[in-house]
A and B are shown apart, each in its own frame.
Chain A
Amino acid sequence: MSMPFEEHDYIGLSEVPAMENSEKNNGLPLGDNEKKNTAKVLNLKATELRLGLPGSESPERETGHGGEDKNGYQLGVLKGFVSGAKRGFSDTINGGSGKWVYSGSGGSEVNLANGGGLFSPRGANGAAKSIGAGGVDSASQQTFVGSGVGKETVPQSPKPVQEKKPQVSAANGHAAAPAAKAQVVGWPPIRSFRKNSMAINPPKTDEDADAKLGTGCLYVKVSMDGAPYLRKVDIKIYSSYKDLSSALEKMFSCFTIGQCGSHGVHIRDGMSESRLMDLLHGSEYVLTYEDKDGDWMLVGDVPWEMFMDSCKRLRIMKSSDAIGLAPRAMEKCKNRN
């Protein structure tokens, strides 16, 4: 955890606002160092993002513990400066870790580790076979064809492109897999319609490859009154209001800690629906959401599943602003009872 922190320093944003420090010391519900670092890190991020753009994603958003993936975190820093950084970009960068690279090559460690069955130069077909692998259809409209040729194979790819003819009379007498590594037309044999469908709507495994969790994802924006930037959370990875609010609290702790702490409500002790109601009455901030109809509702009224289905965005509102919501909340309670 300390390493990314140092890299922050390297970038030159060493100043930690004094206010945040003092807030941390006041009734800080977060006990461990990790949380402290998270807070510090967040602070720095906050500072950076003033220079850059709000709304870019933090690598710790889904795990709640900040910066496990060092590469990712580093990217988080970069993102502050990269306009319109999208997840796709981060995917490409993170590809360096080799987890889910769309590499069409045999170079990646994953493949070699698996006995290189895909690209092994062993086997009777010798050299010819080793280039029969990639199967990236040059006629395909797959959007990742370009990135499909992984780093390791870039130098090789020009050769295969020219070698479209089958190398059937290879010197070693073995003649089978001809054609280029990543340039085999019409292979695997899948109809264009299916290829194009998968290209336009890549399977979920791609979209939440970051999280590698859950059953699909539903990212909603989370804003907090007074915070300089928004966050995004995948609410599908939480199973209850308690989970969600813990996560949000961690995310925005630098802004909420003082308020919650000062009123003696320990959010970390667990958030039930009733607790949220306590917060409504007792704290400076309330958690609200915009539902499908465009109305702003208080979080915690409806069963969790229903909330997940109808929540479009979240807003941590100042209690004073939420007064308009309170009657509604009371009404809903009445209706439910």
Chain B
Amino acid sequence: MDPNIKKTKNSADSANYPEAIQSPSQFPDEVLEKVLSMLHSHKDRSSVSLVCKDWYNAERWSRTKIFIGNCYSVSPEIVARRFPRIKSVTLKGKPRFSDFNLVPQNWGANIHDWLVMFAKVYPLLEELRLKRMTVSDESLEFLAMSFPGFKALSLLSCDGFSTDGLKSIATHCKKLTELDIQENGIDDVSGSWLSAFPDNFTSLEILNFASLNSEVSFDALERLVSRCKSLKVLKVNKGIGLDQLQRLLVRAPQLMELGTGSFQQELMFRHCMELENAFRNCKNLQILAGLWDASYVYLHVLYPACSSLTFLNLSYATLRSDEFTKLIAHCPNLRCLWVLDTVEDKGLEAVGSCCPLLEEIRVFPAHPFDQDINHGVTESGFLAVSHGCRKLHYVLYFCQQMTNAAVATIVQNCPDFTHFRLCIMNPGQPDYLTDEPMDEAFGAVVKTCTKLQRLAVSGLLTDLTFEYIGKYAKNLETLSVAFAGRSDWGMQCVLGGCPKLRKLEIRDCPFGNAALLSGLKKYESMRSLWMSACNVTMNGCRLLAKEMPRLNVEVMKDEEDDSHVDKVYVYRSVAGPRRDAPPFVLTL
């Protein structure tokens, strides 16, 4: 900073803060820290910390929440040294393709060393949010015992623990406000963990155990819900039936988010009315999920609550188009909808007609491996939604067929897409009407949607798609590619363009060493690169590792061919090569 400016500011301040005069630099630390404590975005904080040393210090002292997008990009020691006052930690571990079984077991991303460091340095830790990390029961117990003020635990797509670990949390975390367990690969031993919450425990605000299979004691759950008056989010698992749901709703009419259990149980008419009334009394309900095996017969009980819904998650409810159409007609205020493709194009037409405020839609396949094209949704469903929902900006769409023309029309209807994830389920499938590659579809997307941040491509794609992406996708941060491209040129276009690219994940594409090496300079500005089943060899990876010492180049070799690389994961790191790599991971 200009010393003159500093002095000016200082003299203005000294009138109010006489004790600050001794520092020749700018604001007193306390003031700066106070100002910076109002900054929440970690991107902003990152920028702030780069201004100068004083700002770097003020920022590090005022930061209470830390987000680490790749747990190996930094080490627990470095984090502990830099940030002394952390209360909330978010950590992401494995590469995203691990969700689809592309990363072998025991790859790493274990939370334990982090917890040990946190116990030493952040005894007041309150929140831990983990995604794709390995967490053991021992770690969970350690967590529960080490942080007396611990409040919020969120585990998404993690593995390595069992319901016994949850028992430790329930038993020892006296101030717990949030327990959110989603889609983890865990050992579901029993539902007894829920009964471990002590009788005097009342602080719970968020409870999500929808993806746990073993039944919990309903009695324990009912009592828990009764005494936790601040409960805002409750998502139960399939073991909870409709009559039990009614009893829970009666105890917690203040709920804002509800995940129901099984929606299929046979109910007497009288109980149906009671359930409908219970929903009527939930005046704050905005988000509804669950609805496992939803039987159409009972959907009407939801109607009183539907008009205030902003997010409806029907992605586990196998509703047909006629059933769904009746339900969606009651939900005019939806902003976000997740459905199964059993609703078909007709169902999506209804969405287009009934939900003008819709911003996000995700259509999941009920039969992902069924090649019968008569099931599921097609381009016309997507078109119908885009036509009626002009505010749409997030789409995840699994379909059996698509055309370039349809996509071009869709993005004309909705030019504000920030997230466009299209999965034509048959790899390498062309436009089914013209038989041409789907290049023009994604070309239209990147040309029209200037705010695009995330893109997933599919279908038959030549290098032209990637030329378009590199040239036009100025705001693109995440790109997922599978079964696409013709030559190295495709990947080179992306790496040569896309100035904001952070995450690039590629599988089963004909990109080789030339493509890999063309991104030499770029990888340090990215979080990570994943390439699997491509044309990359050990020599190419070694060269990359040699040229760029601050990148970790991790290779999983091909079983049969020693020189061919099956999977390579490249990421920037200030912690050097990781020390916990399993034998099948070679760090170059």
Which residues of A does B touch, CB under 8 Å? 100-106, 108, 110-111, 114-115, 117-119, 122-125, 128-129, 132-137, 139-140, 142, 144-145, 148, 165-166, 168-169, 174-179, 184-195, 197-198, 201, 203-205, 215-216, 292, 303, 305-306, 308-310, 312
Contact = CB atoms under 8 A, between A and B. Distances in A.
Residue from B293, B297, B428, B483 with most neighbouring chain A CB atoms (10 Å): B428
B533 A177 contact: no
Contacts of A165: 533, 558, 560-561, 564
Contacts of B364: 190, 194
Contact of B428 (A125, A139, A189): A125
Contacts of B99: 189, 191-192
Interface stretch (B68-76, B81-89, B266-274, B494-502): B266-274
Task: Give the bracket for the number of chain B residues in contact with chain A.
Answer: 35 or more
Interface stretch (B201-209, B244-252, B314-322, B572-580): B314-322
B93 interface: no
A292 B437 CA distance: 57
B200 interface: no
Interface string B369-380: 111111100000
Contacts of B260: none
21 contacts: A101-B372, A104-B371, A110-B373, A117-B426, A118-B400, A137-B368, A166-B510, A175-B485, A175-B487, A178-B483, A187-B427, A188-B398, A192-B101, A198-B367, A198-B368, A203-B366, A203-B367, A205-B318, A205-B320, A216-B297, A310-B266
B102 interface: yes
Contact of A175 (B401, B432, B486): B486
Contacts of B437: 124
A292 B270 CA distance: 13
Nearest to A117: B432
A176 B461 contact: yes
B146 interface: no
B508 interface: yes
Interface string B149-170: 0000000010000000000000
A132 B484 CA distance: 12
B460 A124 contact: yes
A102 B483 CA distance: 24
Contacts of B425: 135, 188
B427 A306 contact: no
A127 B559 CA distance: 25
Give the dominant DSSP class at B's interface: loop
A65 B368 CA distance: 35
B269 A309 contact: yes
Given A133-B426, A135-B369, A177-B508, A203 B340 contact: yes
Given A118-B371, A186-B102, 12 more contacts: A100-B372, A103-B371, A114-B373, A123-B435, A125-B460, A166-B535, A176-B428, A176-B510, A189-B99, A195-B368, A205-B320, A205-B375
A135 B367 CA distance: 11
Contacts of A201: 292-293
A101 B375 CA distance: 12
A283 to B, nearest CB: 29
Nearest to B428: A177
A166 B565 CA distance: 12
Given A203-B342, A306-B269, A134 B485 contact: no
Residue from A123, A166, A195 with most neighbouring chain B CB atoms (10 Å): A166
A187 B268 CA distance: 43
Contact of A191 (B157, B375, B507, B509): B157
Nearest to A191: B99
A169 B510 contact: yes
A117 B371 contact: no
Contacts of B368: 135, 137, 188, 190, 195, 198
B13 interface: no
B342 A166 contact: no
Given A140-B369, A215-B297, A176 B375 contact: no
A118 B508 contact: no
A188 B269 contact: no
Contact of B365 (A166, A188, A305): A188
Residue from A102, A187, A215, A310 with most neighbouring chain B CB atoms (10 Å): A187
B266 to A, nearest CB: 6
A179 B100 CA distance: 16
Contacts of A205: 318, 320, 342, 366-367, 375
A188 B268 contact: no
> Which 5 A/B pairs are nearest by Cβ-Cβ distance?
A186-B100, A177-B428, A175-B510, A203-B318, A132-B427
B429 interface: yes
B486 A134 contact: no
A169 to B, nearest CB: 7
Contact of A190 (B100, B318, B462): B100
Nearest to A138: B101
A175 B515 CA distance: 15
Contacts of A184: 427
B533 A166 contact: yes
Nearest to A168: B510
Contact of A198 (B211, B366, B430): B366
Interface string B499-540: 000000001111000000000000000000000011100000
B29 interface: no
B423 A188 contact: yes
A90 to B, nearest CB: 18
B304 interface: no
Contacts of B318: 203-205
Contact of B460 (A129, A168, A189, A198): A129
Nearest to A136: B369
B303 interface: no
Contacts of B266: 292, 309-310, 312
A110 B374 contact: yes
B185 interface: yes
B233 to A, nearest CB: 19
B323 interface: yes
Contact of B427 (A135, A190, A195): A135
A133 B468 CA distance: 26
B99 to A, nearest CB: 5
A92 to B, nearest CB: 14
A130 to B, nearest CB: 9
A119 B372 CA distance: 11
B298 to A, nearest CB: 9
A216 B426 contact: no
Given A186-B102, A189-B423, A215-B322, A104 B369 contact: yes
Contact of A178 (B102, B372, B533): B533
Contacts of B373: 110-111, 114, 117-118
Interface in B171-200: 183-185
Given A186-B100, A201-B292, A122 B435 contact: yes
B295 interface: yes
Given A122-B435, A124-B460, A177 B371 contact: no
A195 B340 CA distance: 12
Contact of B97 (A108, A117, A186): A186
Contacts of B558: 165
Interface string B211-239: 10000000000000000000000000000
Contacts of B423: 188-189
Residue from A100, A191, A195 with most neighbouring chain B CB atoms (10 Å): A191
B107 interface: no
Contacts of B289: none
A176 B484 contact: yes
B427 A177 contact: yes
Contact of A168 (B268, B375, B534): B534
Residue from A101, A136, A168 with most neighbouring chain B CB atoms (10 Å): A168
B571 to A, nearest CB: 20
